[in-house]
Structure 1
């Protein structure tokens, strides 16, 4: 026989409180669209890491130029081309591979290793300075003719000590004019971010308004406005920048005007396409029936419904503008001295890459992190702001 089920005590049960006014009560807390999007964004580890990276770079762009005693345009030819030196790290031997201890390695050639070493000591004034050396190459030292013999020696020494600058610390080193690269890198990041944010602001103001008006009114208005966009699309940005440089001096003003002329076209097209899909829906018809003006319908009903797409496009616009400015500066059409951006710093460092590679490393790392972080965050926002991606 099957075992009988144990009888349950009536004390374990309570009568349900049935009330008509609680028939439509929500079973879980109400959550807004933006809070739901933020919760989904937080689950994307890559996007969160990109956001943290951008916040850190933004903080350093603001505070970095004031973290040491050097001005971004302060020259000191006695300290030109110094390697990086960071207090605390310089005395940690297992971190020597980072190259942040102020040491410099030079290759010197001579008739034999002793001659090469002596030439290096005289050239870099290493008398009384601690150094190490090693023979890199030695060509046919057995030949009787001295002109057919040569050797190459690598000498490693503390460049700060050799120049009598033991009290100075240039965290990213110095350039050919003795300017502190730490200060210039973050000042350049500040200018590059300004250009990126300016391009985003132009997109938000001109592109959104232009695309929204064109799509909402349609007909002949849309036809004329889209013909203007087609003309602007056919003009490359580089041509516009060159024209501005002819009319004005190369610099920040020319780049700003060039971005104002053509930078908003992509945003206008995206907003137009989205509003064309929304303007015939019922909530727009209801608002128009209730007597809402055209500006209110656009600002209160249509634009908020394409906000997610606007934010995503803006996040892609900023790195594109930064890279565009860096490209212009690299080819000599960007900012002019003493101003510096990441593009100008990379351009200056590229000229002496084989001799002083550290000049290129730091601005290249910063601009690479900016590009990656913005694109990763934009991908995360695209997934978070799209309700279709909600699980």
Structure 2
């Protein structure tokens, strides 16, 4: 029988050619859990704002692995000892770090799956794959969880300057066309080294780190926290909540088998069994989109209207302010919407809601980004930089929003 070539080269619009380093990585990419990421959008409903933002989590995971290959080469060149087992474990951990994301996962985590975040689902899926692969992911899982004795390996996967952030900022900037997010990930990786088992940036990389943190802040305000994206995501949360509410009352709603399961059952971390995990692994963006297309003809006014708003991109209006809204504002809108649609108070609340958004580009005292000077002194980036605004970037900025229908006069 002809042996299959597993050392493939993939073409990526960001980095050019990405190589699959070994057979284990190839087999993981081929696995159905990983292939599902082709059907999970990296940026949820952001394409309603930026038409190019249709890239997937599959795309992103491969980009992260490519950057990790660069990081390993750079660190080894600088004399940092990384064994072959540790190298392979890093590639596996970064490749699978997002495998637990559901369709529009932040909306799902607030509606039909309770108290179970995508990180814990990623871990469960990795442990399931580990059983199938006879324990060959054990070291990767240790590093992913931060249980391995060499801290810097975990920092490369989950830190304030990890391969995940270096890829998604560059990739999301490319696909949205928002140039402010374009970070020089290759230079940042070239500036990395390890001191006392912790990742540090060489002094000459200070300006690249400044640019990275500023890009992160701008991408949050311009893209991830764009007001239209906030409306769309909040509408989707309410679509799923309303669908779940109706199903609990005994209504039959058209939806895929996997989505129906989550609408009919209350899923928490306690009852997230292997069977539930398997059902979760069947969910992707197409389940949600096709359900909303069906529900835009539903008998229930609220579900019909909310679904149509997303499908037809006829969204609610949104106001964003630096201070919380006065309570009478919401009450006035509620009164108007009840009269306009002739619906109950409870139903009207699906169309008028408020919340807050927070942007913090850098977290002090949480796996800090430290700078290594030629004198061997190590200083936090906020103290090392002459940019006053970096200290400001480490303070959370909170804004308040209110969404309500457009009233045609």
Question: Would you call these one fold, judging by a TM-score over 0.5?
Answer: no
Which fold has the larger relative contact order, with Cα–Cα distance below 8 Å and residues 6 or more apart in sequence? 1
Name the structure with the higher helix share.
Answer: 1
TM-score (norm 2): 0.21
Higher gyration radius (CA): 1
